[in-house]
Structures are given as C-alpha cells and as structure tokens.
Amino acid sequence: MPERRIRVLYDEAAIAQRNAEIAQAVADSQPKDLLVVAVLKGSFMFAADLIRAMHRVGLAPQVEFIHLSSYRTGTVSTGQVEILRDVQSEVRGRDVLLVDDILESGRTLAFAKDLLAARGARSVSTAVLLEKPNKRAVNIVADHVGFECPDYFVVGYGMDVAHSYRQLPFVGVIETEDQAGLPGI
C-alpha cells in the first residue's frame, strides 16, 4: 500500500472563521427554544466548535445527537439511511438546527430533516461544514454551508476513512505517492 500523506484543504483558521459566521447567522434568525442535533459520527468536531461559537454570540442551545449511516465502511453512499441512534429529546414546537459534516448525495440530511419535521419541530434548518453540490441525489439545500468542497474524499475534523483521521484539526485530502503533484489532488 502506498504511503499516505494528507494535503490540507481547509485549515483550522478558515474553519474557525466560518464557524463564527454560521453561529452569527443562526443568532440573527432569532431561534426559539433552539435544539442543535448533530449527526454522528462525522459532524462531532464541527458541531462542538459551532456550539461554542453560538455561545460566543449569545445563544444557549440544547444539544442532541442522531447517528445515521449510509456509508458503513465504504467511501460511497449505499443509498439506504439507517438510524443507529435516535434523538431522545422532544422536538415538537422547537426550532431545530441539524448539523452534519458534509452534504453530498443529500439522502442522510434529507432523511433527518424530514424525520424531525414529522415529529413536530417548529422549524428544521441545516448547517453543513462541506457541500458537494454536483453529487446531489435528492432535492435539498443547506441553510448554512461552511465551504463548497471539490469532489474529493475528505478526512479530518471529524471525518474519516475506516475510522482513521477523525482527530485532524483540519479538513484534508489523502494523497498517495502516485497521486502527489497531480492537478486537483
């Protein structure tokens, strides 16, 4: 197996700046009884930093988690969304901000948004760290987007490949020796 190197796509400073901007935009919408629902596992770092940024702009959301999967151990969505861990808090009548790491096919985010709306949320808005607009399989648009991402398989800042690289404080692209220096890689 070729040696792996990670090329930084979005560094810590850029991510922190976008988190602050998204938090301010959420605050500007004046949510009522805000519940942040982080989609596990990939969004955990983004959600944590975004929630801290929300605190800095005067918001005090409650926080919940939902664990959904459409990838399992692969790098391509299976097209089937499974609930592995459900939200335990009441969502009825609340403004919900659904936080996910990446909007690609849109299946997972649309599934979660529809689920929370069906449970009676007053509103369900979405925040994603990364968006790949050319990969959409369902009709969904994120309310808040950190970055538009090229069509790379990315790791870091909570995102993984086979449970590795989540700890990286940036979003990066895995390069192998045979890819190094290629345009767009």
Query: What predicted TM-score, i.e. pTM, was given to this entire model?
Result: 0.88
If one counts every other C-beta atom within 10 angstroms of the C-beta of residue 85, the result is 12
Per-domain boundaries in the chain: 12-150
Residues 57, 27: contact at Cβ < 8 Å? Answer: yes
* Burial of 183 (C-beta count, 10 Å sphere; 0-12/13-18/19+): exposed
Name 120's Cβ contacts closer than 8 Å, sequence gap at least 6. 91, 92, 93
Question: What tokens were used for 84?
Answer: 């592995």
pLDDT, tens digit only, all 185 positions of the chain? 456 799 999 999 999 999 999 999 999 999 999 999 999 999 999 999 999 999 999 999 999 999 988 765 555 556 788 899 999 999 999 999 999 999 999 999 999 999 999 999 999 999 999 999 888 999 999 999 999 999 999 999 999 998 899 999 999 999 866 545 544 44
Q: Which CATH architecture has domain 12-150?
A: 3-Layer(aba) Sandwich (3.40)
Question: What tokens were used for 11?
Answer: 């560094």
What is the three-class DSSP state of 110? helix
